[in-house]
Amino acid sequence: MLVGALFVSVLAVAPMPAHAVSPGSGGWYWPVGTENFKGWDGWWAYRPQNPPRWHMAQDMPAPVGHPVYAVGAGTVLEVLESGGDHHYGGVIVVLHRTADGHYFKAVYGHIIPTAAAHKGATVKAGQVVGHVNGCAHVHFGIHPGKAYPPDNNPYRGHTYTSTRTYGWVDPVKYLRANPRVIPYWAPAVPTIAAIDTTGQPSVIGVAAGVVYWSIASTDSTLTYSRSLDGGETVAVADDDAIGALDSTRFPASVGATSFKLGDRLPHMTLTTSTSAPAWKHAVSLSGRLTNARGLPFKGAAIVLESSQDGGGWKTIASAKTGLSGAYSLSWTPITRVCVRARFVAPATYMPVASTATTIAPKPSITPPVVPRTISHGQTFTLRGTLTTRHAAGSRTVTLRVQRLVSGVWTDHSLLTATCRDSATGSAYGRSLRLTAGTWRIRAQMQADAAHAAGSSIWSKFVVR
Residue 173 lies inside a defined structural domain of this protein: yes
| Whether residue 328 is found in the same domain as residue 272 | yes
- Select from 240, 262, 284 the last residue of a domain: 262
- Select from 177, 211, 246 the last residue of a domain: 177
Residue 20 lies inside a defined structural domain of this protein: no
Cβ proximity of 445 and 386 under 8 Å: yes
Query: Which pLDDT score is estimated for 449?
Result: 86
Residue 201 lies inside a defined structural domain of this protein: yes
Rounded to 5 degrees, what are φ and ψ at 442? -135, 155
Series of mean pLDDT values for 10-residue runs along the chain (464 residues)? 36 57 94 94 92 95 96 96 64 96 96 96 97 94 96 93 94 96 95 92 92 89 90 88 91 93 97 95 97 97 93 94 95 94 94 96 93 92 88 85 97 94 87 95 91 94 95
Domain CATH number, residue 96: 2.70.70.10
| Whether residue 41 is found in the same domain as residue 169 | yes
Report the number of distinct structural domains present in the chain: 4
| Whether residue 135 is found in the same domain as residue 157 | yes
Cis omega (within 30 of 0) for bond into 51 = yes
| Whether residue 153 is found in the same domain as residue 41 | yes
| Whether residue 368 is found in the same domain as residue 305 | no
| Whether residue 297 is found in the same domain as residue 405 | no
| Whether residue 166 is found in the same domain as residue 36 | yes
| Whether residue 98 is found in the same domain as residue 168 | yes
Domain CATH number, residue 289: 2.60.40.10
Residue 18 lies inside a defined structural domain of this protein: no
Query: Which pLDDT score is estimated for 436?
Result: 95
Residue 126 lies inside a defined structural domain of this protein: yes
Residue 1 lies inside a defined structural domain of this protein: no
Rounded to whole angstroms, the Cα distance separating 5 from 110 reads 9
- Give the residue numbers spanning the domain of 158: 25-177
Cβ proximity of 90 and 82 under 8 Å: yes
- The strand pairing partners of 214, in sequence order, are 202, 223
Give the angle subtended at the CA of 419 by the CAs of 413 and 424, to the nearest 5°. 140
Residue 7 lies inside a defined structural domain of this protein: no
Query: Which pLDDT score is estimated for 15?
Result: 60
Domain CATH number, residue 380: 2.60.40.730
| Whether residue 382 is found in the same domain as residue 439 | yes
- Residue 71 Rama label (left phi>0; alpha psi -120 to 50; beta): alpha
pTM beyond 0.75, yes or no: yes
- Select from 133, 149, 177 the last residue of a domain: 177
Residue 427 lies inside a defined structural domain of this protein: yes
Per DSSP bridges, beta strands 459-463 and 373-374 are parallel
Cβ proximity of 345 and 432 under 8 Å: no
| Whether residue 100 is found in the same domain as residue 168 | yes
Q: Pick from 99, 81, 98, 101: which is nearest to 90 by CA?
A: 81
| Whether residue 274 is found in the same domain as residue 408 | no
Rounded to whole angstroms, the Cα distance separating 102 from 264 reads 31
| Whether residue 399 is found in the same domain as residue 280 | no
Rounded to whole angstroms, the Cα distance separating 70 from 175 reads 13
Query: Which pLDDT score is estimated for 78?
Result: 96
Cβ proximity of 211 and 311 under 8 Å: no
3-class secondary structure per residue, the chain = CCCCCCCCCCCCCCCCCCCCCCCCHHHCCCCCCCCCCCCCCCCCCEECCCCCEEECCEEEECCCCCEEECCCCEEEEEEECCCHHHCCCCEEEEEEECCCCCEEEEEEECEEECCCCCCCCEECCCCEEEEECCCCEEEEEEEECCCCCCCCCCCCCEECCCCCCCCCECHHHHHHHCCCCCCCECCCCCEEEEEECCCCEEEEEEECCEEEEEEECCCCEEEEEEECCCCCCEEECCCCCCCCCECCCCCEEECCCEEEEECCCCEECCEECCCCCECCCCEEEEEEEECCCCCECECCEEEEEEECCCCCCEEEEEEECCCCCEEEEEECCCCCEEEEEEECCCCCCCCEECCCEEECCECEECCCECCCEECCCCCEEEEEEEECCCCCCCCCEEEEEEEEECCEEEEEEEEECEEEECCCCEEEEEEECCCCEEEEEEEEECCCCCCCCEECCCEEEEEC
